[in-house]
Amino acid sequence: MRVLLPFLALYRRHGGRIALGMLLAIVTLLASIGLLSLSGWFLAGSALAGTAGLYTFNYMLPAAGVRGAAITRTAGRWAERVVSHDATFRVLQQLRIDIFTKILPLSPGVIAGFRQAELLNRLVADVDTLDHLYLRVLSPLLSALVVSLVVTLGLCALDVRLALTLGAMMLAVLVVFPPLFYHAGKSIGRDLTRLRAAYRLHLVTWLQGNAELTVYGAAGDYRRQLDETERHWQRRQQRQAGLAALSQALLILLTGLAVTLLLWLAADDVGGAWIALVVFTTLASFEALGPVAGAFQHLGQVMASAVRITDIIRREPAVTFPTDGPQAADSAALSADNIRFTYPGQKQPALNGLSLHIAHGEHVAILGHTGSGKSTLLQLFTRAWDPQAGEIRLNGQGLSQWSEPALRSMMAVVPQRVHVFSATLRDNLLLGAPAADDTKLRTMLEHMGLEKLLGSEGLDAWLGEGGRQLSGGEQRRLGIARALLHDAPLLLLDEPTEGLDAATERHILALLQQLGRQKTLVIITHRLQGLELMDRIYVMDQGNFTEQGTHGELMESRGRYYHYHRPEEVYTE
């Protein structure tokens, strides 16, 4: 139960709406009980009064009470649903924000150990499951408890023994049923959460890797594993449904026993039409306990989801930022001294004693084959990771001394995979410069050769899901446009011309030279096009630099860089 305490604390932020929702639920239940009880008494009293009661029996007051209870129940149920669901959605919204805020600093150092589908399942499905805590557990239990007390006190006006008997039986249900069905459904809830996650993970993997699975003839086997997981999941769902049916069956049985007992007692104590009131009050009161009977069988599933979420949000980030530090500047000089870095769980270092010094305004290319450590170096520059040895400095200050806002304002990054958000073209560009006007955005699109994206809708054109799909080259150029709009003194680009044709590649590189003339530019690449424009080229292999110099110097040295340009010549170190 302790695992739920941090999540229960979120309800205090919306305590007013939650309290109002519970109050409306109580009013609705009491109106339902009053409607059925008063109706039963009214019908019985009318029958007993007969024709002779036309002038002696008060038909108007009970009829008005029935109508008032019916209106109150209808309006109360509508208002309770609106308020309760509004409160639940607000709590879930805050919960998602809080969890995402705690997960974001874990990237990529900690969450790299989670598969993407598994992480998404925890962030979406497990968070959604937590809404059961209020709607299916807390609200029904507290409402039923208050209703039981009110009904008991109200019935005391008629007969104390009947009131205490009904109150004791209702209290027994509230005391026995929740722990009984919590323990009965705890393991089922854990299994449902685990199997749901496993099924979604297998399904995403199957869809993403379907082409490879089909080519190698493994699609059938993988599909059978998916079907087997689904069968286990369905069996546990059937078990939970059976448990819910058992709880309702037991409640119906107890309702019948309670009605029989109170009918027998009322025959001696009250008599007349009041017997009908006691019977219908008992029926309506036990009907109000219906949601409580099976509520706690969902608690096991809620707790399992809470454990899975807590497992992520309680992890410590691999990189932390100070609140104060150097201030952002208009220039950027970058240096690294004897950097060593090894990924967790790996034996081979990704960077091994690497050093470099880049002056402000210098344009540098880091060239190397796949796996040489280029992208790892870029991640260290952006503090996605920290090196295990050595230090990286920006303007003479260690990166660990910079606050995150100041560091992010100093650099613009184009990663290998540029993400296009499901939003307008304008929104996708404003990520780089929130204050930029439409003229500046259009100009940048024209520089990037993306003016055709404007079309008839202009900057309001929708991209991503449900909108225009961009090619890999268009995504890359959109990412470069964002980086240039950010107007930071340090530009870090990872394979910026990947997926572009030769003419567009030359145009983009020339544009980077032009627009980045007063900026420090670092390009990570394995392509040779345009490197002659760079002030310095570093050739990288096995986590270190094997050569460095200008294009002309490296060509004259006839080393690795020279043989990249002359592959027909045999190269030996």
Per-residue pLDDT for 572 more than 80? no
pLDDT at 1: 64
Assign 50 a pLDDT band (cuts: 50, 70, 90).
Answer: low
Q: Indicate yes or no: pTM above 0.85.
A: no
Report the C-alpha gap between 294 and 248 in whole angstroms. 7
What domains lie within the chain, and their CATH numbers?
Answer: 2-313 (1.20.1560.10), 334-420+488-565 (3.40.50.300), 422-469 (no CATH)
Alpha helices in 104-159 (DSSP H): 116-121, 127-129, 132, 139-156
pLDDT at 351: 92
pLDDT at 568: 59
Q: What is the DSSP letter of 159?
A: -
What long-range pairs does 50-54 form, CB within 8 A, spacing at least 24? none
Per-residue pLDDT for 571 more than 60? no
pLDDT tens by residue, 257-279: 998 998 888 887 777 788 888 88
- Bin 530: left if φ > 0, else alpha if -120 < ψ < 50, else beta: left
pLDDT tens by residue, 129-143: 777 777 778 888 888
Does an H or E element contain 368, and which?
strand 363-368
For 434, list phi and psi in degrees, rounded to 5.
Answer: -60, -25
Report the C-alpha gap between 224 and 563 in whole angstroms. 50
The predicted model gives 160-187 an average pLDDT of 88
Both tokens of 128, joined, read 């959604």
The answer to whether 379 and 318 are in contact (CB under 8 A) is: no
Between 83 and 4, the more confident residue is 83
Per-residue pLDDT for 284 more than 70? yes
Between 176 and 268, the more confident residue is 176
pLDDT at 453: 87
pLDDT at 57: 66
pLDDT at 74: 92
Does an H or E element contain 539, and which?
strand 536-541
Between 402 and 529, the more confident residue is 402
pLDDT at 231: 93
Query: Crossing angle, helix 438-447 and helix 472-486, to 10 degrees?
Result: 130
pLDDT tens by residue, 410-443: 999 988 888 888 889 999 999 888 889 999 999 9
Report the C-alpha gap between 430 and 493 in whole angstroms. 19
pLDDT at 403: 92
The predicted model gives 77-93 an average pLDDT of 88
Please name the residues in contact with 41: beta carbons below 8 A apart, sequence gap of 6 or more.
62, 273, 274, 276, 277, 280
Report the C-alpha gap between 10 and 88 in whole angstroms. 11
Alpha-carbon distances, residue 495 vs 67, 190, 350, 464 (angstroms): 74, 45, 18, 22
| CB-count exposure of residue 386 (10 Å: 0-12, 13-18, 19+) | middle
The predicted model gives 111-121 an average pLDDT of 74
Choose the weakest-confidence range: 111-115, 196-200, 388-392. Answer: 111-115
- Give the percent of the chain with pLDDT over 90: 20
Tell me what the pLDDT averaged over the chain comes to.
85
pLDDT at 52: 59
Per-residue pLDDT for 34 more than 80? yes
